[in-house]
Amino acid sequence: MSKSAPKVAPAAREAGRRPPRFDAAFKAQFAELVRWRRDVRRFRTTPVDAELIERLLSLAVHAPSVGLSQPWRFVLVETSARRLAISDNFARANQSALEGYSGERQARYARLKLEGLKQAPVHLAVCADEETTAGHGLGRQTMPETIRYSVVAAIQTLWLAARAEGLGVGWVSILDPDALRATLDLPPQWSFVAYLCIGWPEEEHDDPELERHGWQERLCGQAIKPLRR
């Protein structure tokens, strides 16, 4: 009788795997993916397959997190009453923001399309579990805000994964967070981080909409110059 192969511990198996090597073509495509990651506000109403959203979330949770705390919590907003409440929330916050400008800047703000709440088939609220026990507090005793930074890393990962699938993502930040928390009946230990609209873009551009409509130029050239100490 032949002996069975010795069992290999998961850690040893993982250590034996070779990391991937990315060729020049992949690197060029990745650079294109980053450049084409746009904040989308104009969506088609075509539904997005639930399995595709699940696949995006399964990639998002591979983002880095402080102390391996994995604090991201996702809420799919599907009921029409809650979606309507979020749209009303935006309308009030947007009016308040408009009143904070004057003259030509106010007129320019009024012309901007700043959300796709009514068209986007998928609404996703992303939160941070401030009381998660995962990670045992490592790395956040002095900087507790890194819990929310970790969630933002997951959002960026999801965003790039969505772009690779041809989906658009729009981050709606013109909202009253407290009213939104009440609308979604969030657990008290979850802090609200982002409200995302996800769907198939109505149009595609490689430049930001705010730059295209004269609100703000890109500052990449200045931003890549580090302060040296």
The answer to whether 127 touches 75, Cβ cutoff 8 Å, is: yes
What pLDDT band is residue 7 in, cutting at 50, 70 and 90?
A: low
pLDDT at 226 (0 to 100): 82
22 in any annotated domain: no
Give every CB contact of residue 40 below 8 A, 6+ residues apart in sequence.
116, 168, 169, 170, 197, 199, 201
Tell me, what DSSP letter sits at residue 212? H
pLDDT at 13 (0 to 100): 56
165 in any annotated domain: yes
Q: Kindly tell me if the per-residue pLDDT of 16 is higher than 70.
A: no
Q: Give the residue-averaged pLDDT of 62-91.
A: 98
Instruction: Give the residue, 207 or 193, on which the prediction is more confident.
Output: 193
What token pair was written down for 201? 């873009």
Q: Give the residue-averaged pLDDT of 61-74.
A: 98
Orientation angle between helical segments 80-99 and 177-184, nearest 10 degrees: 170
Q: Give the residue-averaged pLDDT of 63-91.
A: 98
pLDDT at 144 (0 to 100): 95
Give every CB contact of residue 62 below 8 A, 6+ residues apart in sequence.
157
Q: Kindly tell me if the per-residue pLDDT of 221 is higher than 80.
A: no
User: Of 10-14, 34-38, 108-112, 159-163, which has the strongest mean pLDDT?
Assistant: 159-163
- CA neighbor of 198 nearest in space, from 34, 84, 53, 37: 53
Q: What CATH number did the domain enclosing 191 receive?
A: 3.40.109.10
222 in any annotated domain: no
Q: Give the residue-averaged pLDDT of 152-158.
A: 98
Query: Percentage of residues in the chain with pLDDT exceeding 70?
Result: 93
Q: Give the residue-averaged pLDDT of 191-212.
A: 92
pLDDT at 10 (0 to 100): 57
> What are the backbone angles phi and psi of residue 81, rounded to the nearest 5°?
-65, -40
The answer to whether 61 touches 154, Cβ cutoff 8 Å, is: yes
pLDDT at 214 (0 to 100): 86
* Lowest mean pLDDT segment, chosen from 18-27, 99-108, 164-173, 201-210: 201-210
36 in any annotated domain: no
What pLDDT band is residue 209 in, cutting at 50, 70 and 90?
A: confident
d(CA 222, CA 139): 31
Give residue 187's domain range.
Answer: 42-215
d(CA 32, CA 27): 9
18 in any annotated domain: no
Give every CB contact of residue 44 below 8 A, 6+ residues apart in sequence.
119, 199, 200, 201, 202
134 in any annotated domain: yes
Roughly how many angstroms between the first and final C-alpha of the chain, as a whole number?
Answer: 68
The DSSP H or E segment spanning 14 is helix 10-16
What's the Cα-to-Cα distance from 160 to each of 30, 60, 89, 216, rounded to whole Å? 9, 9, 27, 23
53 in any annotated domain: yes
Q: Kindly tell me if the per-residue pLDDT of 42 is higher than 70.
A: yes
Q: Give the residue-averaged pLDDT of 121-143.
A: 97
Q: Give the residue-averaged pLDDT of 144-172.
A: 97
28 in any annotated domain: no
Q: How many domains does the chain have?
A: 1
pLDDT at 14 (0 to 100): 58
